[in-house]
Amino acid sequence: AQSVAQPEDQVNVAEGNPLTVKCTYSVSGNPYLFWYVQYPNRGLQFLLKYITGDNLVKGSYGFEAEFNKSQTSFHLKKPSALVSDSALYFCAVRDMGSGAGSYQLTFGKGTKLSVIP
């Protein structure tokens, strides 16, 4: 089974500084990797995904992620953090489901990002 790990429960960064939220993965075959964000009392919002192609993926709200095959990592980055970026961030990998032809997302535990004014 595929899996992802988010080694940090919480990341604190000052507003205006660059931010990085870490994710490592374990897959067999080519990985399909995702980042989602969850604001308080709201569902998950899709930020970006890596399927194939350029290792640097650009997504919503100025976020980007770097796919690194040798380090099996897919870290989320933003050049300049905003207070409004404070939220819970989830890395996910597409995995085969038990049903024929089905796929599911397997999520990490999440990283809480706090951007300090």
Partner 1 sequence: EAGVAQSPRYKIIEKRQSVAFWCNPISGHATLYWYQQILGQGPKLLIQFQNNGVVDDSQLPKDRFSAERLKGVDSTLKIQPAKLEDSAVYLCASSPRLSGETQYFGPGTRLLVL
Q: Are 30 and 56 in contact (CB under 8 A)?
A: no
Give yes or no for residue 97 binding partner 1 (CB under 8 A): yes
Per CB under 8 A, the list member of 11, 13, 19, 44 interacting with partner 1 is 44
Neighbours of 52 (CB within 10 A): 8
Segment 10 to 39, residues that bind partner 1, using CB under 8 A: 32, 34, 36
Q: Which listed range, 16-24, 58-66, 67-75, 96-104, lies at the site for partner 1 (CB under 8 A)?
A: 96-104
Q: In the structure encoding, which two tokens stand for residue 68, read together?
A: 């690194």
Residue (13 or 108) nearer to partner 1, CB: 108
Q: Are 75 and 59 in contact (CB under 8 A)?
A: no
Q: How far apart are CA 106 and CA 96, in angstroms?
A: 10
Give yes or no for residue 52 binding partner 1 (CB under 8 A): no
Give yes or no for residue 102 binding partner 1 (CB under 8 A): yes
- Residue 110: strand pairing partners: none
**Which residues of this chain interact with partner 1, rule CB under 8 A?**
32, 34, 36, 41-46, 49, 51, 90, 92, 94, 97-105, 107-110
